[in-house]
A and B are shown apart, each in its own frame.
Chain A
Amino acid sequence: MENKIALITGATSGIGKATAYKLAKEGYNLIITGRRVKILMELEVFIQKNYKVRCISLNFDIREPNELENSMHKLPKEWHEIELLINNAGLALGMESIHEGDLQQWNQMIDTNIKGLLHISKMILPGMVERKSGHIINISSIAGKEAYGNGAVYCGTKHAVEAITKGMRIDLLPHGIKVSSVSPGMVDTGFSTVRFSGNKEKAEAVYKGLTPLYAEDIADTIAWIASRPKHVNINDVLIMPTAQANASNTYKKI
């Protein structure tokens, strides 16, 4: 294939979807993934129609090792040389104090944000190492830098992403592979609706009184990171709404 190939996990919504559009515009052929097959199919058609690139979708739950591996093994040969891996699929569930948290929600966050990210990376990395070329961009969070109240486990998963990113970079730079992370503050996506199990009122309250980031802001940052000269590795970009100084200090005009 002439164009470079990018694989984006969690491309059915929010940051992943905006990144798919942005990278398509920049001329990447795309492998998009997620659980919601209907959205994936629509997106695949939309991207092929509106951008001059190819697009293929893979439908799997990133927590299910067999699903993930079967899906990846079905990838046609011409799609094997993945140059850019965007590890984006992830979620927060619940906002309870640590002594009231839900074990099932904890497991789902850990299985998706940490183990899912590791598993798909392991599938793709050997090829990158062999070709001595590739770039991994992990979507971390301000929650990967600081802990906040009622978010211990989500913050724990993102702190893990941060450590994994740093370790990956040490192991992979000798092989010519770049490793970066983007760590956003509040972004207005499906994130809060998922976190509050579909409770729209609670989700909207999160962004009330300030201008949050939009998925496109993160997509622009990802595209900028991916387009640096060959010798430059952007290790991390911490990007926040101007109204949010850090995990605990936000300025709301209500």
Chain B
Amino acid sequence: MNKIAFITGASAGIGEATAKLLAENGYNLILAARRKEKLEQLKSEIEKNTDAKVYCLNFDIQKRKDIEKAIKNLPEKWQQINILINNAGLGLSFDPVFAAEIEDWETMMDTNVKGLMSITHSLLPHLMNTQDAHIVNIGSTASKQVKKGSSVYSATKFAVEAFTKGLRIDLLKYDIRVTQINPGIVETEFALVKSKGNKTEADSAYKDYTPLKPIDVAEAILFAIERPKHVNINDILLTSVVEADMNNMINKIVE
């Protein structure tokens, strides 16, 4: 039987690219996000182009009760989840702390931290019941560093890193692998969300340099989950060649 991978935030960006790549590599998929139409579109596209089976789940990851209900109602044959990819997340405010909206901070904390923890908590019983279980958390260069305006976004991604490390220690005896993938800047809807839907601002975000593409991150996820069973990739940090770290970037287009 094919392995089942559960991907949060599959309606765009890194999650969407990962869904497609995993489908091509023989995984069946549970795709979760708020935007139902986008998920359904992706489901038909994947089922048309590959042999993978796809099941869609609709919930706001900020709402713990909704997550629990969705997981509880999973059809029997979708319960043997092998891989959980905790990807849903966002950066809303990159204003200095004194100018930021507190609501933006809360949305980031509720999505990136509490959402990720809730869904992991809900799915752990399934994962602990499955062979070869693997949890992949999407961190960021912001899990390692802070830059101007990133205090709260970095705080959420530092929290993800602490959670990843703790999960790994607690699950050591249960043979569950835990990995964190940390990308630098990736060209996704992240910029559009960050600018609160300002298309002009979002479109110009990547015009002076070459960022990572979602597929580059998906490839790193695939590399981690396809290692032999005795190998755990704890952490991959990857950036575009224009970005040495969060505070050292150059403007350059790489052909």
Task: Please report A residues at the B interface, Cβ cutoff 8 Å.
Answer: 166, 169-170, 173-174, 176, 178, 211-213, 217, 224, 228-246, 249-251
Contact = CB atoms under 8 A, between A and B. Distances in A.
B231 interface: yes
B62 interface: no
Contacts of A231: 210, 212, 216, 240-242, 254
A246 B169 contact: yes
A242 B248 CA distance: 33
Contacts of B245: 166, 169-170, 235
Nearest to B230: A211
Contacts, number: 97
B234 interface: yes
Interface of B: 165, 168-169, 172-173, 175, 177, 210, 212, 216, 219-220, 223, 227-245, 248, 250, 254-255
Secondary structure of the A side of the interface? mixed
A183 to B, nearest CB: 8
A237 B233 contact: yes
Given A173-B241, A232-B241, A249 B169 contact: yes
A226 to B, nearest CB: 13
Nearest to B236: A237
A236 B236 contact: yes
Contacts of A212: 230
A228 B220 CA distance: 10
B241 A238 contact: no
A164 to B, nearest CB: 13
Contacts of A173: 241-244, 248, 250
A249 B172 contact: yes
A242 B212 contact: no
A181 B228 CA distance: 21
A238 B233 contact: yes
B226 to A, nearest CB: 10
A219 to B, nearest CB: 12
Nearest to B235: A238
Given A232-B216, A237-B236, A239-B233, A245 B242 contact: no
B238 A233 contact: yes
25 contacts: A169-B244, A170-B244, A173-B248, A173-B250, A211-B230, A228-B219, A231-B212, A232-B212, A232-B240, A232-B241, A233-B240, A234-B236, A235-B239, A240-B232, A240-B234, A242-B175, A242-B229, A243-B172, A243-B230, A244-B232, A245-B169, A246-B165, A246-B168, A249-B169, A249-B172
